[in-house]
Amino acid sequence: MSKKIKELKVSAIENGTVIDHIPANAVFQVIKILKLDKFENMILFGTNLESKKYGSKGIVKVSNKFFKPEEVNRIALVAPHASMIEIKDFRVARKTIVEIPNEITGIVKCFNPNCITNHEQIIQKFTVVDKEDLRLKCHYCEKITVKNNMTFL
């Protein structure tokens, strides 16, 4: 008689946010762009976890932290299929799927070294021209920044 054992690989949090379905190779990038390496409360993360939908995935659990929309926009740029799960009293209070917004402000640096935003104190602003391949058009110099050229501020 075989008994199937279900194992919890990352422990539960009482209050906070779970970022699930992160591409396995983007977990550390999500931690970095959200500045979680400087966060004082408990952070649990896992990478290369089994996922029926994606093969493998990553997950980040942040205790006592609920993310603002601009922080969620950062996640969407590196993990466009991630889900944000808000936990209150060990229960799911809200679950949303991140979406790449139509405009990106103050998150990514323009890759064009001659762009005015790289020489003046001007907030970086982009229009998203392709959400599938992630291509951003600079509001000032109109150059296209692609995912491989992105530097987060």
- pLDDT the model gives residue 74: 81
Read off the tokens for 84: 């944000």
- pLDDT the model gives residue 1: 44
Express each pLDDT in 36-57 by its tens digit.
Answer: 988 899 998 988 888 777 788 9
Among the listed residues 71, 83, 79, 77, the one whose alpha carbon sits nearest the alpha carbon of residue 130: 77
What's the CA gap between 125 and 118, in Å, rounded? 12
Express each pLDDT in 87-129 by its tens digit.
Answer: 999 999 999 889 899 999 988 999 999 999 999 999 999 999 9
Which domains does the chain show, CATH number per domain? Answer: 16-97 (3.30.70.140), 103-152 (2.30.30.20)
- pLDDT the model gives residue 59: 92
60 secondary structure, DSSP code: E
Residue 153 pLDDT greater than 60, yes or no: yes
Q: What angle do CA 126, 127, 131 make, to 5 degrees?
A: 115
What's the CA gap between 85 and 101, in Å, rounded? 19
Q: What angle do CA 111, 112, 117 make, to 5 degrees?
A: 90
Express each pLDDT in 61-87 by its tens digit.
Answer: 999 999 987 788 788 888 988 999 999
What's the CA gap between 66 and 84, in Å, rounded? 10
Express each pLDDT in 21-33 by its tens digit.
Answer: 999 989 998 998 8
pLDDT band at 6 (very low <50, low <70, confident <90, very high): low
Backbone angles phi, psi at 128, to 5 degrees: -80, 115
Pairing label, strands 125-130, 83-88 = unpaired
In the block, which residue shows the tokens 């054992």?
5
- pLDDT the model gives residue 152: 85
